[in-house]
Chain A
Amino acid sequence: MASSSGVLGGSFEHHVQRAVCDTRARYREGRRPRAVKVYTINLESQYLLIQGVPAVGAMKELVERFALYGAIEQYNALDEYPAEDFTEVYLIKFVNLQSARTAKRKMDEQSFFGGLLHVCYAPEFETVEETRKKLEERKVYIARTAKNKDHFVTKKKLVAEHKDTKDFRQDFHSEVSGFRAATLNTSTGSSDLCLPYSYAVDRFMPRTTQLQERKRRREDDRKLETFIETSTSSNEVMIGPLLPDTPTVDMHDDSLNATASLIRNKLKEVISSVPKPPDNKLEDVHTGHPLKQRRRI
């Protein structure tokens, strides 16, 4: 089964595009048809091999297209690599493995100047040092992620239970939208982020969003932490969107500050009174706080 030779351009098993699997059980069919293959850190690389590039002198355009996914350290055509007629093979070396990963995922099977690109990793181009660095980075990444995940994981169970109430919450929103809008107008931005974690690990996010996402998760995490510590029987159940803390502003006047904190506390009360059992809650809201449109002054 192992067939690589030392000659550059010799056939490498892992470069060969495998046939897509068509016998998967429904429940585990992915969004795109995929071959049966396991990706390990050995298979992945900052080096990408691109086959099927139409020989039309489009190297610049090819590199520009790939550069969308991250900084490219070097690139060159592989003239000795076996290629189909009228196509060329290129090697692109990304600065980061993550960029290579994303580029591969996005560019594989994409059309380019009338041809279909086949993109795969080319770890055999790595130096010993590059391989060592790759393995080390993977170890560091896991250690870092596992440390954060331990944090999440104990809360995941609790939050998972609240997942089911998501539908209820949406109905609730529409019922009392007027009232809620009046008091929670800062929350619209975050209303989608009801769960403090996401399953979509492969989701490609532009770098800035990743940083924001991590920051948000850290904040959510802290909030959940306080929740865990304070409640077994309290009604501080965090079903709704996690609202940003209202900033405490000192208005340099005692009475103004007093008023401000009164309002703040009232808001907190209203928010924390949200997660009572569905039926009762709606009734309470209707009878206790009749739906008034807030008068806009």
Chain B
Amino acid sequence: MAQKPKVDPHVGRLGYLQALVTEFQETQSQDAKEQVLANLANFAYDPSNYQYLRQLQVVDLFLDSLSEENETLVEFAIGGLCNLCSDRANKEHILQAGGIPLVTNCLSSSNEETVLSAVTTLMYLSSPGPSCHPELTAMPVVQCMLRFSLSANTRLRNLAQIFLEDVCSPSQVAEARGRQAHSALGIPLPRTAAPQQP
């Protein structure tokens, strides 16, 4: 199933990560891709790996994987981004690479973990004060968060509430609330809420 590349055990952390990246790019097996991506996403939890991950362009690998059809790969990729995006250098890279729309797309996933990671990633990508990235608080995003804040899913509800309170301005929230009453929203909740009435 999975490849067995020859890896010198003495080659250290960078070499190991390199082997993972190589396997991800070369393997035909979906299982192996999932395993390796999960592995990389977990490594992204630890700041001591960040310089290696940047060197191996793993941040771009995560961003690219957000467009995969395999839902599991998307879940793991956004998880990896969530893990490393609050680091300043990683954050810059993601913003410059046009990561925001890729992440906001994940808000419409039916996978609970994907949505949670996406909300958290957006929060970490935002900065206090007037934003250079207004897409973070674009109307559809704020409206989406408003809906999430009413969700039966506690984790989602909590995160959405924090997003609305800490990332959005009160006027943005008020405006979104006003519009929400009248518009047909296209962003479905992950499968926890009852279907919307048009």
Contacts and interface: CB of A to CB of B under 8 A. Distances in A.
Which interface class (under 10, 10 to 19, 20 to 34, 35 or more) fits B? 35 or more
B88 A42 contact: no
B143 interface: no
B82 A2 contact: no
**Residue from A26, A41, A163 having most chain B Cβ neighbours under 10 A:** A41
B50 A4 contact: no
Contacts, number: 145
B21 to A, nearest CB: 12
B191 A3 contact: yes
Contacts of B36: 28
A41 B42 CA distance: 11
B169 interface: no
Contact of B45 (A36, A39, A131, A160): A39
Interface in A1-33: 1-6, 13-14, 21, 23-28
Contacts of A36: 34-35, 38
Given A4-B153, A145-B47, 14 more contacts: A2-B115, A4-B112, A4-B192, A14-B113, A23-B2, A27-B4, A27-B5, A38-B79, A38-B83, A40-B45, A40-B113, A42-B113, A135-B120, A141-B47
29 contacts: A1-B110, A1-B191, A2-B111, A2-B113, A2-B191, A4-B112, A6-B152, A13-B112, A13-B113, A23-B2, A27-B16, A28-B39, A39-B42, A40-B117, A41-B82, A42-B82, A42-B116, A42-B155, A124-B153, A127-B158, A131-B159, A132-B166, A135-B120, A142-B87, A146-B88, A149-B47, A149-B48, A149-B50, A163-B12
